[in-house]
Amino acid sequence: MIFGIAAMFGSVVLLGKTLMQTLSQMLTENPASQNDQMLQVVVPGVNLPISQLSYFFTAILISGIIHEVGHGVAAIREQVRFNGFGIFIFIIYPGAFVDLFTTHLQLISPIQQLRIFCAGQLF
């Protein structure tokens, strides 16, 4: 519980800092900073070497599994049963999922539902 609260406040601080930096860059009239991209599309073979693809997709898969384990742990903590857990590959994208019983999910309070839905971000 304390870790979740600390992580939430830390995330809000980082989000605020990022917002302030973005606004300050947008308001300055420096043409060099306007051409910088904040996000960059990853294109295998162009800006991501083909030799690094296995590491890239392994990192995505591990991140997805850890994320979904967070939802599963929160569901167990809120006494919501789940059908199962799985991993998949959609075209080339690896992912993971937790299959919750929707009837159990609908019976709990909205705050308990929110704890489950947000747990993937905090775990």
Question: pLDDT tens for residues 10-55?
Answer: 888 888 888 888 778 777 766 555 556 677 778 888 888 999 999 9
Instruction: State residue 119's pLDDT score.
Output: 84
Instruction: State residue 86's pLDDT score.
Output: 92
35 DSSP assignment: S
Instruction: State residue 77's pLDDT score.
Output: 92
Dihedral angle of Cα 51, 41, 97, 107, to the nearest 10 degrees: 170
Q: Report pLDDT digits (tens) over 62-119.
A: 999 999 999 999 999 999 988 999 999 988 888 899 999 989 889 999 999 998 988 8
How many whole angstroms separate alpha carbon 56 and alpha carbon 64?
A: 12
Instruction: State residue 122's pLDDT score.
Output: 59
Catalytic annotation, pick one of 64, 68, 100, 115:
68
How many whole angstroms separate alpha carbon 68 and alpha carbon 74?
A: 10
How many whole angstroms separate alpha carbon 55 and alpha carbon 42?
A: 13
Catalytic residue status for 29: no
Instruction: Give the containing element (helix H, strand E) for 76.
Output: helix 53-77
Question: Among candidates 25, 116, 11, which has minimal Cα distance to 71?
Answer: 116
> How many degrees, rounded to 5, is the angle at CA 64 between CA 99 and CA 108?
35
Q: Is the dihedral of CA 61, 37, 16, 110 positive or negative?
A: negative
Does the structure show a pLDDT above 60 at 58? yes
